Amino acid sequence: MNILNKIIKYKKNEINILKSNYTINDLQSTKLFEKLTVSLKKNLKSSKSGIIAEHKRKSPSKNIINDYLYVEDVINGYKKAKVSGISVLTDYHFFGGSNQDLKISKEIFSGPVLRKDFIIDEFQIIESKSLGADVVLLIASILSKKEINNLSKLAKELNLEVLVEIHCERELDKALCQYVDLIGVNNRDLKTFKTDINISKNISKKIPNDFIKISESGFHSYESINDLRLYGFEGFLIGEYFMKSADPGTAAKNLIKKIEQ
């Protein structure tokens, strides 16, 4: 069983526990559920850097990346760096994240916040709204075209934007849905966890211009980001590159400065 299959198996059990502890009414009664969402799509359109900075403590491939910094310090650093958006891993078992990380991020950062998790159930979409998310991530490799349509339709009804992540060209058809706002090309193979930004380049021309294109993972320099701009990418989701630094906010600030020069 590969890493992705293990994650989904664990996630199904986690969702069952979630449903036993909370009702939909519980989620809809939270203060954050009523909060107006902020558009990542609009932010990327007006941004010079397109940087979406991620808070991530660990991953199955790298194990611990950075688990000693307070989430408040990381998000404040990203805020000062003037990132276009923030991505927050909320999966605990495999990535060391939490729902509280997302809530704290939304309290600090007034821009768009993406909930990054393994969403396979409509209950998680409603939960995302209750946690203060502005954008939800749907992973094409673990969902059918019908599931993506249904989950993204519910997200839009809740005024959430939808980012569908693909890893190869054959997954693109599933992502081309009227309720989807952004398509992210993950340069990381979720089975081997190796990265290659050429994956984004090879798929870019196949993605219709109706969607904002985001490239995810594998960035180590501003040159690669500027290179991908030539392929129509307007957003760049970066986590490990920042988080492995002792000061992720400064790392983000320095990269953005180089991009904008």
Catalytic site residue 217? yes
pTM of the model: 0.95
Catalytic site residue 165? yes
pLDDT of residue 134: 98
Q: In this predicted model, which residue has the larger pLDDT, 242 or 221? A: 242
pLDDT of residue 220: 81
Task: Tell me: pLDDT of 1 over 60.
Answer: no
Span 60-85, average pLDDT? 93
Catalytic site residue 169? no
Encoded tokens for 30: 């939270």
Catalytic site residue 161? no
How far apart are alpha carbons 84 and 106 in whole angstroms? 14
The amino acid at 152: S
Nearest to 53 by CA among 227, 258, 241: 241
What are the angstrom distances between the C-alpha of 241 and each of 57, 66, 204?
12, 11, 23
Catalytic site residue 54? yes
Q: Are 153 and 170 in contact (CB under 8 A)?
A: no
Tens digit of each residue's pLDDT (9 = 90 or more) over 222-240: 999 999 999 999 999 999 9
Q: Which of 161, 165, 171, 234 is catalytic?
A: 165
Q: Which of 129, 174, 217, 234 is catalytic?
A: 217
Which CATH number do you get for residue 245?
3.20.20.70
Question: For 63-67, 81-85, 144-148, 202-206, which range has the lowest pLDDT when averaged over its residues?
Answer: 63-67
pLDDT of residue 240: 92
* pLDDT-based confidence at residue 61 (cuts at 50, 70, 90): confident
pLDDT of residue 191: 67
Tens digit of each residue's pLDDT (9 = 90 or more) over 38-55: 999 999 999 999 999 999
Catalytic site residue 56? yes
Q: Which of 186, 187, 200, 215 is catalytic?
A: 186
Domain count, the chain: 1
The DSSP code for 207 is S
Tens digit of each residue's pLDDT (9 = 90 or more) over 168-215: 999 999 999 999 999 999 998 766 678 889 999 999 999 999 999 999
Task: Report DSSP letters for 1-60, one per residue.
Answer: --HHHHHHHHHHHHHHHHHHH--HHHHHTSGGGGSPP--HHHHHHH-SS-EEEEE-SEET
Q: Based on the number of CB atoms within 10 Å of its own CB, is 90 exposed (0-12), middle (13-18) or buried (19 or more)?
A: buried
Encoded tokens for 201: 């380049």
How far apart are alpha carbons 20 and 200 in whole angstroms? 40
pLDDT of residue 261: 85
Q: Look up the domain containing 46 and give its range.
A: 3-260
